[in-house]
Amino acid sequence: MRIDIVSIFPDVFEPVLASSMLGIAQQKGAVEFRVHDLRQWTDDKHRTTDDYPFGGGHGMVMKPEPLFRAVRAVTEADPRVPFVVLTCPQGRRLDQRLVEELAAKERLLILCGRYEGVDERVREIVDLEVSIGDYVLTGGELPAMVIVDAVTRLQPGVLASPSSAEEESFSWGLLEYPQYTRPASFEGREVPAVLLSGDHKKIAQWRRLEAIRRTALRRPDLLESADLTEDERAFAARVIAERDSERKEPGSDG
Ligand code: ADE
């Protein structure tokens, strides 16, 4: 997969893209990153990428011309047609399902939004606007890094074992089960015995139930669309009922 990023702060990407898993993914050829400075597509002395909003108001708006030129030039640099993403707080909220959709594209072009927004006409050349959450950042560089990281780790050959992606948080539609490493006993805190039993079937069952328990307690909203058996749904309901009855017990703080 090839990922192009267009930003007015191209330098901030270098250390992130070169580090750890992203750097290794690139060395392995699983992904190719190209970062472009938007200012190369400006045509004035000051290399201006933003301007005042028509109609007045506070803040600056990203000009259309450099972004249109950028998308045209970057698209032409490779025969694969990119799926164009604009980072902005009004976009579709990123979740693991969207990450999987993006990871399946052969090429992504991410435009990092800035300032108070981009000229509305730029939306014509964008396939999808993506938000990384309901909060406002100063720009789209961090969101672009989040997208690139999440998408890259799903590329074939990037994770040590492909089942790591399948078993973890969200790909079952559940939060991840509790994990432990050595020592088995730490200052009186014991690792659950089942994990030391060597019984792989029992371990898998325990993990599944603990993932359901954790999801029920922390993110009950995820249970609705999670793929659970009837017994598992009943277990989730019991976990929630037990927690609620503990809360209501007289003398408890709440
Ligand atoms: N730009 C500013 N805030 C953002 C957010 N939450 N997601 C994507 N792009 C943004």
Residue whose CA is at the smallest distance from ligand 1 atom 7: 131
pLDDT tens for 123-168 read 999 999 999 999 999 999 999 999 999 999 999 999 987 766 666 6
pLDDT tens for 203-229 read 999 999 999 999 999 999 999 999 999
Q: How buried is 136 (Cβ within 10 angstroms: 0-12 exposed, 13-18 middle, 19+ buried)?
A: exposed
Q: What is the mean pLDDT of the chain?
A: 94
**Domain residues for 209?**
185-247
> What is the structure's pLDDT at 242?
97
Query: Nearest Cα to 196, choosing from 176, 181, 177?
Result: 181
The answer to whether the CB of 234 falls within 8 A of the CB of 209 is: no
In a domain, 180, yes or no: no
pTM of the shown model: 0.91
Residue whose CA is at the smallest distance from ligand 1 atom 9: 88
Q: Determine the Cα–Cα distance for residues 211 and 218; give it in Å rounded to an integer.
A: 10
pLDDT tens for 36-49 read 999 999 999 999 99
**Confidence band for 252, pLDDT divided at 50, 70 and 90:** low
| Number of domains present in the structure of the chain | 2
CA of 59 relative to ligand 1 center, distance in Å = 16
> What is the structure's pLDDT at 168?
61
CATH number at residue 222: 1.10.1270.20
In a domain, 161, yes or no: no
Q: Is the CB of 111 under 6 A from ligand 1?
A: no
What are residue 34's phi and psi, to 5 degrees?
Answer: -130, 120
